[in-house]
Amino acid sequence: MHVARAIYTIWLREFKVFVRERSRIVGMIGQPLLYLLIVGTGISSGMSLNNAPGGMDYLKFMYPGIIGMSVLFTSIFSGASIIWDREFGFLKEVLVAPVPRWAVAVGKILGGATVASIQSAILAALAPVAGISLSVGVMVKLLLLSFLTSLAVTSLGVAIAARMESMQGFQMIMNFLVMPLYFLSGGMFPVQSAPAWMQKLMLVDPLTYGVDALRQVAFSHTTVELAPGLSAPLVEIARSGGLIRWDLGVDVAVMAAVTLVLAAAAAVSFSRAE
């Protein structure tokens, strides 16, 4: 009971901090709009997917990748709160409480994942801009996949932040990790279009499986017209063009395994923090 209460308390604190920071909420809404309306639309106007079947434009392809990017950025930088808590003395008070340290880490992870999922919900509401149709069931699946992915990424951020002494050092390591994780995820370009050596790196990037799962679910309720009187499900078009690589069960299983490993690493790293 004490452990559950500790996890809930830390989660609630993370959520309240987020709600009270109005600038953070504005940024959370503005960032997806920036990437979807400006970056995605701008790139789609001058770039096409090589060998992509009809009905698949770049903005549709990029939309699940933008969700993945949003989850990645928001989740991994949630670990920065640990460093702030250490500098202002709050973390010291938490660590002397009669609860396991891993419970504090779990609360931090759940709090960061919750905030990232809220941003995913905002992006889900912007799906029509990309020409994607979402049902209530599809939106629920998207949010669940986003939450699973954000659990893994937030765990990575917590594991690293627990061992860092300064915000500058944390930001440097995060910047070194975030961009390769995203660019190798298949969010910006298909896996099969990359050079052979890069494809190998993409296959070991856990975010690749998260984006692949998001793409399957996001496309599952959209039908595109290929010719007058001829239409096809977007998910089948993407699958036939190699833009979806694995079955949804495989993607979820990989992400679940990665989440367990990274959450355990975060718990151990936080338990050893000074």
Give me the chain's average pLDDT, please: 78
State the CB neighbour count (10 A cutoff) for residue 248: 17
What pLDDT sits at residue 206? 87
State the CB neighbour count (10 A cutoff) for residue 57: 17
What pLDDT sits at residue 104? 79
Distances (CA, A) of 183 to 191, 227, 241, 252: 10, 33, 20, 20
Average pLDDT across each block of 10 residues of the chain; the chain has 274 residues. List them in order. Answer: 76 78 68 70 57 66 84 78 70 68 82 85 82 84 90 86 72 78 82 83 88 88 69 76 84 92 84 65
Distance CA 199, CA 245 (A): 12
Whole-prediction pTM: 0.85
Q: Which segments of the chain are extended strands (E)?
A: 223-227, 230-233
Contact 143, 124 (CB under 8 A): yes
Residue ranges per domain, the chain? 2-271
Question: Phi and psi dihedrals of 244, rounded to 5?
Answer: -115, 125
What pLDDT sits at residue 138? 84
Q: Convert the pLDDT of each residue in 103-151 to its tens digit.
A: 878 888 888 888 888 888 888 888 887 778 888 888 888 899 989 999 9
